[in-house]
Structure 1
Amino acid sequence: MISQQNFWPTNLKKLRNRKNMSQESLALLLNMSRSKYNAHESGQTVNPVVEDLFRISDYFGMSIDSLLRVDLTKLSESKIRELEEGNDLYRKGTQLRVLSVTVDKNDTENVEYVPVKAKAGYRNGFSDPEFIAALPKFSMPNLPKSAMFRMFPTTGDSMLPIPEGADVIGSFVQDWTNIKPRTMCIVILKGEQDMVFKQVTQQDEGFLLESLNTVYQPYTVPASDVLEIWKFYSYQTNEIPEQQTDLQTMAKAIKEIRDDLKIMKTKK
């Protein structure tokens, strides 16, 4: 059961009782005083500090999002075990993610660049302030102040006509539920999966990823495999785009007609 209500206090009590632990013994394991832990569980702590969120989330093996937004008292034991095992069935993209950023001497956020050689490390260190601080960084005066930006390199030709090797600047997407169908995004995936540049469409339990180059087949990824999403803002390249041929223009027109027909069918 998902709600905008904050279930943090009742969830802590539920999980502590499942372990048959006293507040004092749990507080000791969490390296905090009993009075501080009791303030969390009794609801006196309205806005838990990030360190406490991480500490308690790590101990119970459950996402911060579930601890805050899912009423665990309404779930069966099997569902709670699924959450503990990392199968966060309730994540819809609005889970709390702490984004590490750097600022310049004027306290303006930098645009960090994730080079190809750092892509694997980024998946493990994307929330580590020290890792982010070590990335190349620059500033761009014309970027909106209302969003956070990062630059990622692209590989392959799946997004032609955007040329292979282009550097894509994306704005951080905090709420995945706001992504419109076929929004071009950089998607950061878990494990050995790559960070990809695709058209993104949200589905029930994940995302459909499509290439602009129709040679590549679309595929889906579960939301649990996604770490971050950065909405396309612009790209940098040292290549001059080739002029479109008549065949490419016709193919584009046909695709637009098909898309319009799909929209018309859904409205009927």
Structure 2
Amino acid sequence: MINTNLKFWRRELGLTQAQLADKLGIKRSLVGAYEEGRAEPRLATLVNMARLFNISLDALATTDFSKKKNAKAAQLRQVISNASEVEADPASGGNLRILALTVDKDENENIELVPIKAAAGYLNGYADPEFIEELPRFRLPTLPTAGTYRAFEIAGDSMLPLNSGTVIVGRYVDDWHTIKDGTPCIVVSTKEGVVFKRVFNKLKRDASFSLHSDNPVYSPYELSVTDVREIWEAKSYISNSFPIGGVTLEHLAGLVLDLTQQVQTMRKV
């Protein structure tokens, strides 16, 4: 069933033979030969196919997906970032990024929740369907239907007034060039793990991002694009506590102190 399934899943993903060949790292003519049954893929190529289609090797070889009423209704599926085919630019999705996610019985995408305790494991499991399947999941009907969403529980006070334990719901960003300066995002990277920051886009200048906290106690820092694995643009948040409104005495005292120091500096000048 390899030739039948290869043709079926290629069409399901909306790929041409040339595009599929690029993603598998083989020649386009081989894809045609595989689909027509004139040649058999090597084991390494079969493994790449199974991963790309998010099915087992056994299913790839023995299950006729073209006869299934709804092959997409598998509990797990993958979204392929294909914003660009330019492999030299990792920020635009040229290096194939496969996003594992879950769907309900009606094929609606769930929102998987990455709690604080799972944040460390997420760096290694973000592309692993089995890891994603173990995460809690929910749906928010108020979110736009276009896009893929994931929720992350944040820790610390770097993004006050949002408190530690707040859940940030983010929309998956497949082309990082589209991120506007100051956009609040969940950034998943090899150096910092999972963090919630305001992102300033420096891709064109030096292939990096500048990450800023809303809490001025924390200094901004640079993050190379090669260290980044995922970016989720913050679209909503869920919290058990409301941000404190009004101006506190501590804040007023700080303002008075700053003004006093500025006046003293002006007098010396």
User: Normalising by structure 1, what TM-score?
Assistant: 0.61
In 2: Cα distance, 1:31 partner to 1:97 partner: 18
- What is the CA-CA distance between 1:201 and the residue it aligns to? 1.1
In 2: Cα distance, 1:125 partner to 1:178 partner: 26
> What stretches of structure 1 move > 6 A for 4+ residues in a row?
none
Secondary structure of the 2:132 match is: helix
Partner of 2:145: 145
**Residues 133-187 of structure 1, C-alpha deviations (whole Å, 9 max, x = no match):** 1100111111111011111011111101112221111111111000000100000
**Residues 25-47 of structure 1, C-alpha deviations (whole Å, 9 max, x = no match):** xx757356xxxxxxxxxxxxxxx
Correspondence for 2:224 among 205, 222, 225: 222
In 1: Cα distance, 2:51 partner to 2:151 partner: 28
The 5 A counterparts of 1:60-79 are 68-70=85-87
CA contact (8 A) 2:85 2:93 kept: no
CA contact (8 A) 2:208 2:222 kept: yes
Matched, 1:245 2:238: no
Secondary structure of the 2:222 match is: strand
Partner of 1:169: 169
Partner of 2:134: 134
Q: Which has the larger radius of gyration?
A: 2
**Residues 61-113 of structure 1, C-alpha deviations (whole Å, 9 max, x = no match):** xxx99x9524xxxxxxxxxxxxxxxxxx6322333311111111221111100
* Larger relative contact order, structure 1 or 2 (CA cutoff 8 Å, min sep 6): 1
Counterpart of 2:184, as a letter, is M
Give me the CA root mean square deviation.
Answer: 3.2
The 5 A counterparts of 1:19-58 are 28=42, 30=44, 51=51
Is there any run of 5+ residues in structure 2 with no aligned partner, and where? 1-17, 28-40, 55-80, 256-269
In 2: Cα distance, 1:149 partner to 1:52 partner: 20
In 2: Cα distance, 1:218 partner to 1:92 partner: 21
Partner of 1:122: 122
Partner of 2:234: 232
The 5 A counterparts of 1:140-219 are 140-190=140-190, 193-203=192-202, 204-219=206-221
Counting strand residues as a fraction of each chain, which structure ranks higher? 2
Is there any run of 5+ residues in structure 1 with no aligned partner, and where? 14-26, 33-47, 55-63, 71-88, 252-268
**Residues 1-52 of structure 1, C-alpha deviations (whole Å, 9 max, x = no match):** xxxx97949x868xxxxxxxxxxxxx757356xxxxxxxxxxxxxxx95747
Partner of 2:6: none
Counterpart of 1:196, as a letter, is V
CA contact (8 A) 2:183 2:200 kept: yes
User: Normalising by structure 2, what TM-score?
Assistant: 0.61
- What is the CA-CA distance between 1:224 and the residue it aligns to? 0.8
Partner of 2:68: none
Identity of aligned residues (%): 39
- What is the CA-CA distance between 1:212 and the residue it aligns to? 0.5
CA contact (8 A) 2:149 2:169 kept: yes
